[in-house]
Structure formats: structure tokens, C-alpha cells
Amino acid sequence: MNPLFANLPTTVFEVMSSLARETGAINLGQGFPDDPGPEDVRQKAADAVLNGYNQYPSMMGIPELRSAIAAHYRHWQGVDLDPATEVMVTSGATEALAGAILGIVEPGDEVVLFEPMYDAYLPLVRLAGGVPKFVTLQPPHFRLTEEALAKAFSPKTKAVLLNNPLNPTATVFAPEDLTLLADFCRRFDAICISDEVWEHVVFDGRRHQPVLALPGMRERSVKIGSAGKIFSLTGWKVGFVCAAPHIMKVLAKSHQFLTFTTPPNLQVAVAYGLAKDDAYFDGMRRDFARSRDRFTAGLNTLGFDVIPSQGTYFVNIDIAPLGETDDVAFCRRLVTEHGVAAIPVSAFYAQGAVKNVVRFCFAKKDATLDAGLERLAKAL
């Protein structure tokens, strides 16, 4: 057996969701919304299944979807992508991440990782034989600093993995942090694998900044998105990857032996959905912002120390002021004794740097959030 997998713990999302199912707890842990997603998009998928979109589609994704992705990003982010050479459809952002890391990183290459990091990153970097170089971001601001980047980058740096907006901390990197990172990528000739799955869920007038649109980054960036996040259909696992043709050629090779392709019926529906008008996307953001405000206000009223959410559908609390030093133990107690599942953010730190932050998912109905808050009141 490969010890890399044999020795891996089960992902924290599965652990907490299983505990929530076993105990009947309100699940504010794993990030998934409890609304069914846009009905017209789901109807398109159902129609496509019945109308015969069920055989292997082309390896790079159906042309309608690749064009829709390019048009979507042109409209929302001002980037001009050639759907024929710079856009590929993957089976979720997870496959895009795996394909990019395996396609780009060679054994011995250094890969800069910002912790807290999404839990798939480190095992994939190790699988590729990459050497992780961690930059530890500290609560409550989780900022990039020149000093930390200077320590992490070296002539051996092949790639850096960025997630913006950042899951789990719900922060959106400041433009100057992204500029700083781009400077380092150019200086060290590194590729930025930019996980932007939360690109549409940014609050308070923020606009998403794709890394590949920064000066000099077009030829050294891989942009990753997910329809699961854009349409609150997390089980669909339709992802996208955008990159300059010389990078895309390699990513296509790794994709062909990871999944080769992605269900065509879902691709048809996502192509339709990406062309929805601004009102849909603005409305989605507004609805998430409203839930964020409701849940944040509830946590504040109870006396929790809230780290404000700038993007994603998560919000975090600092449990240190409660005298708590172990977020895993705190979350275990929360789910077994108080009936609320949450995610201990230490699961996203590889080196144990932070153990006092707990993440909640607020993409839930008001009644669910209110019931969760009622239970959290008893945990204080």
C-alpha cells in the first residue's frame, strides 16, 4: 500500500458530516447550501439526460461550455480567454487541482503553500513528489507579507498554490497582497495555481481579482473554478481550468488519464447557467450576505469573537477568549453535547500553528441558522 494514502486521516469534512448524521446535529460544518440550487439549471440537466447527452463528450469539455466559461469570465472579470486553447472542463475543481499539481510539479520541486490551506492541496503536492514550503497566515487578518514570501520562495520554486477567496478563513486577499505574490512568481519564474472556486461569493462591494489578469501572470497562471460553488450544486463536480496554451497542453495530458471527461448533461446545464444575467449572480451574493449578517450578528450577540467574513459562505470564531486551546476537542464537544457540527480550522494547518479558530457554514435557511445559534448559546 502507498503510505501516502494509507497513513492519511479521513478528511475533516467527512468526519464532521458523519458525526452530524450519527448525532442528528445541525450541520454547519461541511460547506454545502441547503437550498436546492436554481431550478432552471437543474431542469436543463434533466432535459439533457432525457435528450441523449449521455455518451462520452470531448475530452476538453463540450464546446458550448468552454465558450460559456470564456464569455462568463470576459463579462465578470474582464479576461479574454480563447475557449479552444485556454479553457478545459474538469470533474470538479478537485480534479483541476490534481491535474495541475501532477502536471506541473516534478519530484524535488518546491511548492509554496499558504496555510490554512484546503485539505486536498498537501497530499496532492506530496503525490507529485513536490517539497512543500509553507507560509503560515495568522488570524485575524491572514495577510501575505514580503518577509514570509521571501523565506518561502527559492530558485527551486516551481509553483505556488493560492486560494482566493480563502477557504476556511473567509478572507479576500487585498490587491497589494496579490501584486506582491505576482512579483515573487515573476522573479522566481514560478507558476501560480490559483484556486478561485469562491470567486462569485465576495461581499461588501469587493470584486474578485483573477491572478492571471495581473501584469506578467497570464503565461504563468492556472485559474481554477467550480460550477458546484457558482450554482450551489456542490455534488455536481463540474470544474474549469483556464491557462495559457503552453500550460494547457500539459494539463490536458494529465486530465486525460485522471477522469478524461465530465458528465455531458451537467456540462450542458452549466453552460446555460453561466450565461444567466447579472441579477442572478448579484442576487446570490446578496442572499449569502444576508445569511452571513444574520449568523454573524447572532454569534456576536452570544458573545463569540467573530472573525468577519469577506467572502465564501463561511464565518469563523476565535475560541481563545473562551479559554479554549484545542479546536478539535471544542468541535467534538459542540457536535456530541450541543448538536452543532462545525469545522476545526487546525485541520487546514500542516504544522499546528493555529488551534483556536472554528469555521461555520452559513449557507443555510434562517430557521436552521437560528436553531444553530440557540444551541451554540448553551455551549458557552
Q: Which of 15, 19, 28, 31 binds ligand GLN (CB under 6 A)?
A: 31
Vertex 311, ends 309 and 316: CA angle to 5°?
30
Residue nearest to ligand PMP (CB): 92
d(CA 56, CA 118): 30
Q: Tell whether residue 92 is a contact of ligand PMP (CB under 6 A).
A: yes
Q: Tell whether residue 163 is a contact of ligand GLN (CB under 6 A).
A: no
Q: Identify what 23 binds: ligand GLN, ligand PMP, none; CB under 5 to 8 Å per kind.
A: none
Q: Which of 91, 164, 167, 267 binds ligand GLN (CB under 6 A)?
A: 167
Q: Tell whether residue 239 is a contact of ligand PMP (CB under 6 A).
A: yes
Closest approach of ligand GLN to the CB of residue 16, in Å: 9
Q: Identify what 291 binds: ligand GLN, ligand PMP, none; CB under 5 to 8 Å per kind.
A: none
Q: Which is nearer to ligand GLN, 94 or 265 (CB)?
A: 94
- For residues 170 and 312, the answer to whether their CB atoms sit within 8 Å is yes
Q: Tell whether residue 327 is a contact of ligand PMP (CB under 6 A).
A: no
Q: How many residues bind ligand GLN (CB under 6 A)?
A: 5
Q: Which of 281, 155, 175, 185 is nearest to 229 (CA)?
A: 281
Closest approach of ligand PMP to the CB of residue 212, in Å: 17
Q: Identify what 237 binds: ligand PMP, ligand GLN, none; CB under 5 to 8 Å per kind.
A: ligand PMP
List 316's β-bridge partners, or say none. Answer: 307, 359
Element (H, E) at 195: strand 191-195
Backbone angles phi, psi at 147, to 5 degrees: -60, -45
- For residues 224 and 97, the answer to whether their CB atoms sit within 8 Å is yes
Q: Which of 29, 31, 264, 273 binds ligand PMP (CB under 6 A)?
A: 31
- For residues 311 and 198, the answer to whether their CB atoms sit within 8 Å is yes
Closest approach of ligand GLN to the CB of residue 361, in Å: 7
Q: Which is nearer to ligand PMP, 188 or 254 (CB)?
A: 254
- For residues 319 and 342, the answer to whether their CB atoms sit within 8 Å is no
Neighbours of 337 (CB within 10 A): 13
Q: Tell whether residue 171 is a contact of ligand GLN (CB under 6 A).
A: no
Q: Which of 330, 328, 337 is nearest to 375 (CA)?
A: 337
Cα-Cα-Cα-Cα dihedral sign, residues 317, 321, 322, 325: positive
List the x/- string, 124-163, binding to ligand PMP by CB under 6 A. ---------------------------------------x
Q: Tell whether residue 197 is a contact of ligand PMP (CB under 6 A).
A: yes
Closest approach of ligand GLN to the CB of residue 93, in Å: 9
Q: Tell whether residue 164 is a contact of ligand GLN (CB under 6 A).
A: no
Q: Which is nearer to ligand PMP, 230 or 373 (CB)?
A: 230
Q: Tell whether residue 167 is a contact of ligand PMP (CB under 6 A).
A: yes
Q: Which is nearer to ligand PMP, 31 or 83 (CB)?
A: 31
Residue 224 in grid coordinates: 481554477
Q: Identify what 372 binds: ligand PMP, ligand GLN, none; CB under 5 to 8 Å per kind.
A: none
Q: Identify what 57 binds: ligand GLN, ligand PMP, none; CB under 5 to 8 Å per kind.
A: none
User: In terms of DSSP bridges, do strands 239-243 and 131-136 run parallel, antiparallel, or are they unpaired?
Assistant: unpaired
> By CB under 6 A, what part of segment 209-238 binds ligand PMP?
226, 228, 234, 237
Position 135: which residue type? V
Backbone angles phi, psi at 198, to 5 degrees: -95, 15
Give 63-69 contacts, CB < 8 A, sequence gap 24+.
Answer: 64/267, 64/268, 64/271, 65/89, 65/267, 65/268, 65/270, 65/271, 65/274, 67/271, 68/270, 68/271, 68/272, 68/274, 68/275, 69/225, 69/240, 69/242, 69/274
Q: Tell whether residue 280 is a contact of ligand GLN (CB under 6 A).
A: no
Q: Which of 27, 30, 163, 194 binds ligand GLN (CB under 6 A)?
A: 30
d(CA 267, CA 57): 9
Q: Identify what 339 binds: ligand GLN, ligand PMP, none; CB under 5 to 8 Å per kind.
A: none
Q: Which is nearer to ligand GLN, 29 or 132 (CB)?
A: 29
Binding site for ligand GLN (CB under 6 A): 11, 13, 30-31, 167
